[in-house]
Chain A
Amino acid sequence: MSTYMRDPGLLARDAEGLFWMARYLERVENLARLIDVTQSFESPGFEADAWWGLIRINADEENFSKRGFSPDAIHIKRFYLLDKGNPTSIPSSLEDARTNARTLRPLISTEMWRQINVFHRFVGRIGAADLEGDALSRVCTRLKDAVQAHTGITEGTLYRDQGWYFYELGRLLERADQTTRMLDIKYTALLPHGGREEQRVAELTQWHAVLRGAAGYHAFKRRARAEFSAEDVVHFLLRDASSPRSALLCVRRMESHLDDLRRLYGLHAAGEAIESAELLREILVEKPLSHILATGLHDYLDIVQIQLQKLAACIGRGFFRDWRPEPAATQTQVQAQA
């Protein structure tokens, strides 16, 4: 650091705010994509099953029944797109993201703040009519566009000191989490029936939907063999070195960011989190996939999920705990002051 510039440091509370703002927005984008894909690729006759998959991916079974909805397509759409009382809905996530953005106003750019404000207003105005027919896909597209606009504005305007690293850590952690959850649920649902040709085609369609859910359909097509297998899809989502949403890519980037925080900013508290990320990376690459699939992907993904949570906890302990004595980084977190 040059001698005539000062290191302003970063408040632990702001580091946490950046981490969570990114997580919430990442959630919105993933959820919007999943809703869109579910709508576009639902198999006639199995609509309710397809939509219920969304509930399972988000581990919302209990939450959903508590809200008093019936498990059909329209209620699940409402639960995620309209229900402000559901903490995992898009309106709630955006509300939380904006609340964090408000606490972060001294750090984030005016452009970022303006965009999230306008975005927030748009989400607040989504109504029942937007869930009908072709309107749903349009709304999902606008939601994804808005998060991506946020991402672009952030890329171009957020000052890249340590705060930016915490923002990226939040986004990557959430992304890895979402990808592995989706894979877990979908894989189990799709599991290999083999058999007749039309069955196989239907399965393929579903695997395509999974890939689209991770924004990886076209890239996968370019990489995969003509006759791809379920194992290839699993590989792509977990271990592909170039897919922006593969678990491995997210973990590698987290590792690198944590390393930068330690090296460039002297944050020695990163040590524990770096070890945790290394362990996670090893888990992701160590065993052959065939072996994992043979012994049970679900159990394996459980381990990955737990390790992701441990990593989040390490980051919380290392950097955020200071201002908030209780363990930070649980599933949902909005900073609030009395």
Chain B
Amino acid sequence: MSEIFDSLWPDYDPGRFFCELTAHRADAGPVPRLLAERLGRIGLPDLRARAAQAETDLIDLGITFTVYSDATAIDRILPFDCIPRVLTHGEWDLLERACKQRVAALNLFLGDVYGKHRIIKDGVIPADLVFNNSNYRPEMQDFPVPHGTYAHICGIDIIRDEFGDFRVLEDNARTPSGVSYVIENRHLMLRTFPDLMAGIKLMPVDDYGRRLRAAMSEIAPGGHGDPQVVLLSPGIYNSAYFEHVFLAREMGVPLVVGADLVVENERVFMRTTAGLKPVHTIYRRLNDDYLDPAVFKADSMLGVRGLIGAWRAGNVAIANAVGTGVADDKAVYAYMPRIIKYYLGEEPLIKNVDTHICREAEGLQYTLDNLDKLVTKPVGESGGYGITIGPRASKEELEASRAAILADPGNWISQPMIGLSVGPTLAEEGIGPRHLDLRPFIITGRESWVLPGGLSRVAMKRGSLIVNSSQGGGSKDTWVLAENFAAGEGGAA
């Protein structure tokens, strides 16, 4: 297989990284070759022209996120790369099962930490990790949620290492964003590159809105044949506002802001032209802190006074539930393999990135012995603060890191440096390798459903490992092959 790419793209070199297109995968069938040939036929100039057209399309359609500085608001698009990322049928089967397993464990864990605390009493996870966690919400203790589901919408960040093995990098169980791009990217591909996709059977991504609405109906307080679902957004100045609009439209439900809702007698209503109308489920895209000024941040202008009271009275459902943040932070992440084992009696179908927990003697020793090879992260921080990348750090930085870890081992974890997989990407130099990750989205009401594919984020800068949109990352359409080539004639091995 690789010779084909050599002749088509002689300059394309993924180096030591796993390439999502050119690496040999028996069950990819003819698709990678077909894709490369078609890209070759379209040619670079036309590819660039169409990519530019696609970006203009995104701007015209306002598929943007807003970046605010002191005086100006700039609408930015998430850069779109036109070369899709291809997942085989077999890969998807694993990813899908692994995501469901992970979400099941997360929900059981949440039910337990806000319930009987078994996992803590059994010594699997330290009590202070849970109860001193800034995202732990004591208000949730013994509060029953329908179907035991706390994290109704989950996004799990998955990477692929040098060997092509999937690894979970992070769980997002609060208000994960990005799903709108999965669907918009597909539409954009269909409009702009129909010739690239012709004849290749893909799993559809159009079902997300219906599934989400169904899950939101499933969790509504009983007795409503057709419950009123709303999406609660912080409003037009939120950087993810486009996504909120997208989801409200796809679900066919009103997009509301805090000012639209009012609580009377522990029931939630929205203000319509015909007066107050009852609301039964709220898909909120607002952090816990802002939901209800009577309970959390008193100065929140975005929330609804009395909302938590109405929720506790059982008159409205809120998704995701309050307090899910305790399950998705770095400290708890390190324990996820044990959490999965504890509740499900199973090994994780997709492993974590190897993580050494410095609060444990063994992990601490290993970390201190290998500081120059490891990435060390404080568990209480987010956004990359306090991280030391061993192989790129100076002697002084390593010593500083050693001192910080020794001062408070419980606050640290360490991980090996992972060589993220790459995908061919339209870049300055032509088609070049760029690092990727993957965020599948899982919806859970009564049961879990995984949107086929997910958001493939790509670091547009050569060599960069940072795929975040706030730092110049882009995205690709993610194709999940509907055909299983491993079984039939397609096996190109």
Contacts and interface: CB of A to CB of B under 8 A. Distances in A.
B61 A337 contact: no
Contacts of A10: 272-274
B62 A265 contact: no
B232 to A, nearest CB: 12
A102 B236 contact: yes
Interface stretch (A109-117, A132-140, A142-150): A109-117
B260 interface: yes
B60 A11 contact: no
Given A9-B272, A114-B62, A337 B259 contact: yes
Contacts of A338: 301-302
Dominant secondary structure of chain B at its interface with chain A: mixed
Contacts of B260: 11-13, 323
A337 B236 contact: yes
A269 B272 CA distance: 12
Contacts of B235: 103, 337
Given A8-B254, A323-B259, A337-B234, A110 B61 contact: yes
Interface string B255-296: 111111000000000111111010000000000000000000
Contacts of B236: 99, 102-103, 337
A6 interface: yes
Interface string B232-249: 001111000110010011
Interface in A250-269: 261, 265-267, 269
Interface string A96-114: 0001001101100010011
A338 B301 CA distance: 6
B273 A319 contact: yes
A162 interface: yes
Given A117-B60, A117-B61, A337-B259, A267 B254 contact: no
Report which residue of B241, B252, B257 has the largest number of chain A beta carbons within 10 angstroms of its beta carbon: B257
Contact of A11 (B242, B252, B254): B254
Nearest to B259: A323
Contact of B255 (A106, A261, A269): A106
Interface residues of B, number: 31
A240 to B, nearest CB: 32
B277 A9 contact: yes
Given A110-B61, A324-B259, A337 B270 contact: no
Interface in B142-167: none
Contact of B273 (A117, A162, A324, A337): A162
A118 interface: yes
A248 interface: no
Contacts of B256: 11
A114 B61 contact: yes
Interface centre among B62, B248, B254, B302 (most CB of A within 10 A): B62
A102 B302 contact: no
A61 interface: no
A273 B80 CA distance: 49
Q: Interface centre among B245, B274, B302, by most A CB within 10 Å?
A: B274
Nearest to B251: A106
A302 interface: no
Contact of A337 (B249, B272, B302): B302
Nearest to A102: B236
Nearest to B64: A117
A12 B242 CA distance: 21
Nearest to B249: A106
A13 B260 CA distance: 7
A11 B242 CA distance: 19
Contacts of A118: 60
Contacts of A8: 252, 254
A41 to B, nearest CB: 36
A102 B244 CA distance: 11
B273 A269 contact: yes
A277 interface: no
A261 B274 CA distance: 10
B52 interface: no
A320 to B, nearest CB: 8
B62 A11 contact: no
A49 interface: no
Contacts of B273: 9-12, 15, 162, 166, 261, 265, 267, 269, 319
Contact of A13 (B62, B241, B242, B257): B257
Contacts of A267: 273-274
Nearest to A116: B62
Nearest to B299: A338
A114 B60 CA distance: 5
B226 interface: yes
A114 B256 CA distance: 22
Interface in B460-476: none
A161 to B, nearest CB: 11
Contact of B274 (A9, A106, A110, A114): A9
A265 B259 contact: no
Contacts of B94: none
B127 interface: no
A11 B301 contact: no
A322 interface: yes
A112 to B, nearest CB: 11
B59 interface: yes
Contact of B62 (A113, A266, A322): A113
A160 to B, nearest CB: 15
Given A106-B248, A267-B274, A117 B259 contact: no
B52 to A, nearest CB: 16
Nearest to A162: B273
B61 A105 contact: no
B60 A266 contact: no
Given A319-B273, A322-B275, A106 B259 contact: no
A337 B257 contact: yes
Contacts of B272: 9-12, 322
Nearest to A12: B271
Contact of A266 (B59, B226, B259, B274): B274
Given A11-B260, A13-B260, A106-B254, A322 B271 contact: yes
Nearest to B59: A117
Contacts of B249: 105-106
B56 to A, nearest CB: 10
A141 B254 CA distance: 37
Interface of B: 59-62, 226, 234-237, 241-242, 245, 248-249, 252, 254-260, 270-275, 277, 301-302
Given A105-B249, A337-B235, 10 more contacts: A9-B277, A11-B256, A11-B270, A11-B272, A105-B245, A106-B254, A114-B60, A114-B62, A322-B272, A324-B259
7 closest pairs, A vs B, by CB?
A: A337-B235, A338-B301, A105-B245, A106-B255, A9-B272, A322-B271, A323-B271
26 contacts: A9-B254, A9-B273, A9-B274, A10-B273, A11-B254, A11-B256, A12-B272, A13-B257, A13-B259, A102-B236, A105-B62, A105-B242, A105-B245, A106-B255, A114-B60, A114-B61, A117-B62, A118-B60, A166-B273, A267-B273, A269-B274, A323-B260, A337-B234, A337-B258, A337-B302, A338-B301
